[in-house]
Structure 1
Amino acid sequence: MSIKSTAGKAGALLARPFHRDGAPTRLHPTSLWAEAVKVAGLYLAPVWGKVRQWLDRYVRPVLGTVSGLGAVVIGAVVLLWILGAAFGWQEAKVAALLATVLILIAIAFILGRSMYAVKLDLARTRVAVGDNAVGSIAVTNNAPRTVLPSALELPVGRATALFHLPRMKAGDTHEDLFTIPTTRRAVITVGPVRSVRSDPLQLLRRQVLWTEPTDLFVHPRTTALDGPAAGFLKDLEGLPTTELSSADVSFHALRDYVPGDDRRHIHWKTTARTGKLMVRQFEETRRAHMAVALSVNTDEYERDDDFELAISAAASLGRQAIKEARELSVVTQRGPIRCETGKNMLDDMTRLAGHNRRGTAVDLARTLSDTVPNASVVFLVVGSRVTPSQLRSAAASVPPGVRCFAVRCYSGAQSARANIADLTVLTLGELTDLAAVLRKAVA
């Protein structure tokens, strides 16, 4: 055997780990650095966890009290002290001393502990667009001594409301009322209420949270529909099918009695006339099930107001169906909307956001036919940019025998009705015209 081949075998034996499965052993690690990192992690992880807890408990609250201006002043103080000590500049030392005094005064302003009992109360957590949400903040001084005037802040969405607290004796309660105007559909986070201590120069700012945040739902505007869902379903019992049944509400014909038939369905007059038992035969009916396909593709709408009008129209149709205890399904490109109650439906529609990369109205109609195959009436709520050919394709996806309407939402347009084959196309310009447009649709 040559020297070269012997050296190669020896190298292979040295490189091979002891474990047969190929895993490295403690004596033959694949990487000393990886092993060192692993060991360091095992021993340093508990220490780092304790350090993080200490930082979160003591250091972070202190740093959180420093405002932007305060950070600049503290940095200037450090720099001035260094320059004064290094170069002997008396002016720098004097300026550093004055800034240090300001910081100490600011610290004195934020020291102390407040003992408040704060209650945030919203009269209603669900309002419609245009309605004012009314609430109150009640503050009680639970401290055994009188507290000086202070301030409370109430975040309302991206804005912040400021409430000034007067001088309060022990046990005193101060209450403030507030209103939140609503102009657009949204979920607004109200709170948490926080007390604020700060110095006159706003160098330091200390906040204490007293309540939990509350969600305020600003539901889309809806309009009442007159009559049985504005007459868009003529048959309250549903549409008949071709399947026969021995027990239902729609009478079809008589047939000979077969053993096992319910005797309650025997037609005694015909039995007496023919001399043989005859039973009633019924035609199965399909209960009225309304399906609403709401397009959230913003490319299909001319303006944002058109999209809001579409949501309001779909919500109005859904509320009417729920009011009449009909089966309801609402589908969007983002998924189905909960329809167990009117509150759930409006909550989901409040959270609904448009997206320009979602499927078209044609894709939505196909999804609707797959997810709601037993619908008896379908509403396609779309924007004004949906073309007649797209509406025709969308209507073709609806199963035969299902009455289909398309509601094109275009703010300010004249309400109108048109037909594309078996599809009834309704143009809606104002939400208040919805009931009248639906009445025209079934006329």
Structure 2
Amino acid sequence: MRGRRGRRRAAEGVPAPSPADATGATQAASSSDAAGAPGAAPQAVGHSRGGLRGVRARVAALWRDRLHPVLDVVSPIGWAVLGATVVCWTIGLALHVTELNVIAFVLSVPLVIAALFVLGRASYRVTLDLQTHRVVVGTRAVGRVEVANPTQRPILPSRIELAVGAATAQFLVPRLGPEDEHEELFAVPTKRRAVLVVGPVRSVRDDPLSLMRRQVTWAQAQELYVHPRTVRLDEAATGFLRDLEGTPSSHLSSSDIAFHALRDYVPGDDRRHVHWRTTARTGKLMVRQFEETRRSHVVVALDTRADHYESDDEFELAVSAAASIAGQTYREEKELTAFTVEETQRTTTMRQLMDDYTVVERTRERPPFHTIGQRAADLAPNASSVMIVVGSHTTARELNAAATQLPVGVTAVAIRCVDGAEVTRSAIGGLDVVTLGSLDTLARALRAVGR
């Protein structure tokens, strides 16, 4: 039978299959069967999902780059007028209602005029320049916006908008000829501590009825730090923070300011410390030996719990008091650690220190108040003075709980901020408490503690 089939295929011009061909055909059939098996379904679904994602991405890019910029030109009022126009034209032409056609024509005229106003593209070169990026509360931040025409054709008048925080300033730019420039000066009033975003600068072209509006961003936004108001503290006010001879330690040194004793001269000692009167009396070189002293280390802890303050003004007073003490400590080149309930202020530079105080906000969290004292002990175990700035609703029990967490021998002072109060002084255990009603009286309040 096999030979007959082979001869029959040869007679018909079709070669007989070899064993290898038969094996390949079997594998192909197996592959075909596998493709139709249930295991191949996830691959087909994966390909379809990938294709769907690609379509969605292309549609999103088309909307973002092409359609949305065009549709965003029409204002909500413009869309309402456009919708009414389409409805009137459709019904009027379909039902031959002359009145609707007239209304549609009347509505079409302002739409066409509005489109003429926003057509065209301006090629401005805009520069936003702030005189300084950091000011103090109460002072004005001055800047300028320069608009130039870098092209060889004139540009029609337009309006420039400058965003300043939540507000927007506007000014008109006249017609600019080739290479012409126009400059506008502006001043930003600063009533409260904040980080204001100045910018971006946009050119705006719209019609008198505000049916269409086209805006183009030219200059990006810049940050303006409004630092808290601070006062300088004289030496009399900060005298209680200063150790003229430092705090003596148990370590001995050959050079310091706290004299300890005399000892025999050892080769290598500084001859400036030779005590010549004793040397002449004993007949051998004697040198002074000193105790090592440590520099004053001041900790400024600011309580930011919202329920501890009566008002926003009271909290701003506390921030200004803490920033004033920290700033004075930094200027006197003492070691400084400043922190709040949530974060630690940077003390590398004065600008970083004030930047961090600028962004301090009241927190709604209510951690145990004694954690302020515990954190002060953890951050600065060798601190010489700890200043805790609190609000009017902080209780004596809370202050005492925080004071018990401080290292032994530290000078602890609590500054209780009460808006409009007179300067008074009291004590809770080993903690001095001074009431502060105005930032201008901070120096007097600290002098009262130093007595």
Structure 2 length-normalised TM: 0.85
Contact 2:237 2:447 in 1 (8 A): no
For residues 47 and 262 of structure 1, do their structure 2 counterparts lie closer, same or farther at Cα, with a shift above 3 Å needed?
Answer: farther
Once the two structures are TM-superposed, the CA of residue 244 in structure 1 deviates from its matched residue by 3.2
> More deviation in 262-271 or 356-365?
262-271
Distance (whole Å) between structure 2 residues aligned to residue 314 and residue 26 of structure 1: 76
Q: CA deviation at 1:37?
A: 4.8
Residue 26 and residue 414 in structure 1: after superposition, are their counterparts in 2 closer, same or farther (change >3 A)? Answer: farther
Residues 36, 147 of structure 1: alpha-carbon distance in 2 compared, 3 angstrom cutoff: same
> Do the aligned partners of residues 262 and 86 (structure 1) sit closer, same or farther apart at CA in structure 2, a change above 3 Å counting?
farther
1:320 maps to: 328
Change (3 A) 1:347 1:391: same
CA 1:346–1:26 in 2, change beyond 3 Å: closer, same or farther? farther
3-state SS of 2:241 partner: coil
Question: Which has the higher mean CA deviation after the structures are superposed, 185-194 or 138-147?
Answer: 138-147
The question of 1:309 aligning with 2:348 is answered: no
Which residue is equivalent to 1:12?
none
Q: Aligned to 2:160, which of 152, 166, 174?
A: 152
Q: Per-residue displacement from partner, 1:7-50 (whole Å, max 9, x unpaired)?
A: xxxxxxxxxxxxxxxxxx99555x95x66553223233344333
Aligned to 2:231: 223
**Which position in structure 2 is the counterpart of 1:22?**
none
Pairing 1:132–2:154 present:
no
> Residue 36 and residue 284 in structure 1: after superposition, are their counterparts in 2 closer, same or farther (change >3 A)?
farther
Shift of 1:376: 1.2
Partner of 2:184: 176
Of the structure 1 ranges 145-154 and 244-253, higher mean CA displacement relative to structure 2 is found in: 244-253
Matching of residue 196 in structure 1 with residue 187 in structure 2: no
Equivalent of residue 370 in structure 1, options 338, 360, 378: 378
What are the residue-to-residue correspondences of 1:15-414 with 2, within 5 Å? 27-29=37-39, 37-84=45-92, 87-227=95-235, 230-255=238-263, 262=269, 270=278, 273-274=281-282, 279-414=287-422
| CA displacement at 1:188 relative to structure 2 | 0.9
The answer to whether the 8 A contact 1:228-1:324 is kept is no
Residue in 2 aligned with 1:423? Answer: 431
- Name which of structure 1's ranges 410-419 and 360-369 shifts more when overlaid on structure 2: 360-369
CA distance in 1, matches of 2:61, 2:244: 65
User: What secondary structure, in the 3-state scheme, does the structure 2 residue paired with 1:124 have?
Assistant: coil
> Are the structure 2 counterparts of residues 434 and 152 from structure 1 closer, same or farther at C-alpha, using a change threshold of 3 Å?
same
Report the Cα offset of residue 389 of structure 1: 1.6
Structure 1 stretch 315-324 or stretch 222-231: which is displaced more? Answer: 222-231
The alpha-carbon distance between structure 1 residues 36 and 353, as it changes in their structure 2 partners (threshold 3 A), is farther
1:433 match: 441
Q: What is the one-letter code of the residue matched to 1:432? A: D
SS of residue matched to 2:387:
strand
Say whether the 8 Å CA contact 1:223–1:432 is kept in structure 2.
Answer: yes
- Does the 8 A contact of 2:314 with 2:419 survive in 1? yes
Alpha-carbon deviation of 1:91? Answer: 3.1
The residue matched to 1:131 in structure 2 has which SS?
coil
Identical positions, percent: 48
Asked if the contact 1:296/1:358 (under 8 Å) is kept, the reply is no
Are the aligned partners of 2:241 and 2:298 in contact in 1 as well (CA < 8 Å)? no
Distance 1:294 1:39 in 2: 59
Q: Distance in 1 between matches of 2:320 and 2:108?
A: 59
Q: Residue 160 of structure 1: CA displacement? A: 0.7
Tell me, in whole angstroms, the C-alpha distance in 1 between the residues paired with 2:155 and 2:234: 58
Q: Distance in 1 between matches of 2:316 and 2:86?
A: 55
The corresponding residue for 1:3 is none
* Matched letter for residue 321 of structure 2: A
**How many angstroms apart in 1 are the aligned matches of 2:356 and 2:45?**
49
Q: Which AA in structure 2 matches 1:383?
A: G
What secondary structure is seen at the aligned counterpart in 1 of 2:412? strand
CA distance in structure 1 between the partners assigned to 2:147 and 2:219 by the alignment: 11
One-letter amino acid of the counterpart of residue 240, structure 1: P
CA contact (8 A) 1:125 1:216 kept: yes
Distance 1:335 1:274 in 2: 60
In structure 1, the gaps of 5 or more residues are 1-24
2:243 maps to a residue whose letter is: D
| 8 A contact 2:300–2:322 mirrored in 1 | yes
**Alpha-carbon distance between aligned partners in 2 of 1:69 and 1:37, rounded to the nearest angstrom:** 45
Letter in 1 for 2:388: L
Number of residue pairs matched?
416
- Secondary structure, in 3 states, of the residue corresponding to 1:367? helix
- 1:168 deviation in Å? 2.3
Larger deviation, residues 321-330 vs 400-409: 321-330
Change (3 A) 1:225 1:26: farther
- TM-score, scaled relative to structure 1: 0.86
Gapped runs of 5+ residues in structure 2? 1-34
User: Is the contact made by 2:242 and 2:296 (CA closer than 8 Å) also made in structure 1?
Assistant: no
1:376 and 1:403 in contact (8 A); partners too: yes
CA distance in 1, matches of 2:58, 2:274: 83
2:425–2:448 CA contact under 8 A, matched in 1: yes
Q: Distance in 1 between matches of 2:169 and 2:262?
A: 74
SS for the counterpart of 2:441 is helix
Kindly state the Cα deviation for residue 325 of structure 1 after the two structures are TM-superposed.
1.4
Alpha-carbon distance in 1 for matches of 2:106, 2:36 = 62
What is the one-letter code of the residue matched to 1:423? L
Note the C-alpha offset of 1:143.
2.8
Assess, with a 3 A threshold, how the Cα gap between structure 1 residues 256 and 125 changes in structure 2: closer, same or farther.
Answer: same
Q: Report deviation, 1:251.
A: 2.4
| Offset, 1:134 | 1.4
